[in-house]
Structure 1
Amino acid sequence: MKKAIQILEKVQIGVGAAFLFLFLLTVVVQMLSRYLGIAATWTEDVSMYSFIWAVFMGAGAMVYEKRHFAFSSLSGALKSERAKLLLEIIISAAILLFSLWMVYYGIRITRQFWNYTWVNIPSFKRGPTWLCLPLSGLSASIYTIAQIAENVGKLAKGEK
């Protein structure tokens, strides 16, 4: 299970990096087209939606790395390893609730905007551009559930 989650995280980082590269590439094309006086209005939509995808894929991956949300000052103040594990479980439960909320509302917004078209590229639908919300929420949920299970296992065994 842990190996599958690690593969999912690597794929998610790869997708995020690809969209970040696409964002940077379209911004450069946009700058060059303005400098040369060529109309390239499509670059606005492509850069905006690729940046959104890059951000949400990165956000999901950061949940796996435990870099997305933390109370490090509170955790550092706790002396007991058991209390630290309990705090991690509470934080993970809050992240899980938010992630599930992202899945639910991400699906709703994706369905709502599925047939809307892009402003500058009317042949493209907006639905796939909103898929990053439920996908990011789903991956964050998977990572968080695994982290909760690991921490509960440590508590049960009395590990540090």
Structure 2
Amino acid sequence: MGQRLLRLEEGLAQFFLALTVAVIFAGGVARFLGRPLDWAMDLATFAFAWCVFLSADVALRQDRHLAVELLTGRLSPRWRLGLRLFSLLLMALFLALLFGYSLQMAYLTRFRSFQGIPGLSYTWVTLSVSVGSLLLLLTTLGRIRQAWRAWREGPCS
């Protein structure tokens, strides 16, 4: 199930990135030809928001987020693991708050529509924050569980 979800997230993130690029390119060409597409930037914003949050979770699942280990590399393995657990707990708290507030924002924007796409509610963009933060929270909780097990067993190096 985990690999399937990761592949689905990767595919959706790639799709939304390609859509963003294609729409911006088409909008630029149309503007050059004197026939601007009023909806191009709105659709690109929508696609980019979804791409960002889905890609963030894919990167976290694959442990590809940027990490500066200048100070933590000098700590003992036990302290390093404790600091990792602490930072993951802070991350989980932040993501839980972000999820809650983003749901409120999605509800508040339900009647707001895009200027260039009148039928599309802005809620669909704000839901990208909710879905993304929930996926990131689930991934972080899995990392917390792994770090906690390693903490209880004690680091091997």
Shared fold, TM over 0.5: yes
1:149 and 2:145 correspond: yes
Q: Compared with structure 1, are the counterparts of its residues 69 and 114 closer, same or farther at alpha carbon in structure 2 (3 Å cutoff)?
A: farther
Q: Is the CA contact 2:81–2:155 (under 8 Å) kept in the aligned structure 1?
A: no
Q: Compared with structure 1, are the counterparts of its residues 106 and 125 closer, same or farther at alpha carbon in structure 2 (3 Å cutoff)?
A: same
Measured against aligned partners, the alpha-carbon deviations of 1:23-57 in whole angstroms (never above 9, x if no partner) come to 00001101110121113111010112211211121
Deviation at 1:71, TM superposition (A): 4.4
1:107 and 2:103 correspond: yes
1:24 and 2:21 correspond: yes
Instruction: For 1:86-125, list aligned pairs within 5 A.
Output: 86-125=82-121
Aligned to 1:7: 4
In 1, Cα distance between equivalents of 2:4 and 2:88 = 21
In 2, Cα distance between equivalents of 1:95 and 1:67 = 16
Letter in 1 for 2:9: Q
In 2, Cα distance between equivalents of 1:151 and 1:6 = 21
* Root mean square deviation, CA, Å: 1.6
Deviation at 1:61, TM superposition (A): 2.3
In 1, Cα distance between equivalents of 2:59 and 2:92 = 13
1:61 corresponds, among 54, 58, 65, to: 58
Return 5+ residue gaps in structure 1 as ranges: none
In 2, Cα distance between equivalents of 1:149 and 1:111 = 32
In 1, Cα distance between equivalents of 2:93 and 2:65 = 14
Measured against aligned partners, the alpha-carbon deviations of 1:103-122 in whole angstroms (never above 9, x if no partner) come to 10110101110121110111
TM-score between the two structures when normalised by the length of structure 1: 0.89
Deviation at 1:8, TM superposition (A): 2.6
In 2, Cα distance between equivalents of 1:20 and 1:65 = 19
TM-score between the two structures when normalised by the length of structure 2: 0.90
Q: Is the CA contact 1:63–1:69 (under 8 Å) kept in the aligned structure 2?
A: no
Instruction: For 1:29-40, list aligned pairs within 5 A.
Output: 29-40=26-37
Deviation at 1:10, TM superposition (A): 2.7
Q: Compared with structure 1, are the counterparts of its residues 52 and 36 closer, same or farther at alpha carbon in structure 2 (3 Å cutoff)?
A: same
In 1, Cα distance between equivalents of 2:71 and 2:62 = 19
Instruction: For 1:45-84, list aligned pairs within 5 A.
Output: 45-68=42-65, 70-78=67-75, 80-84=76-80
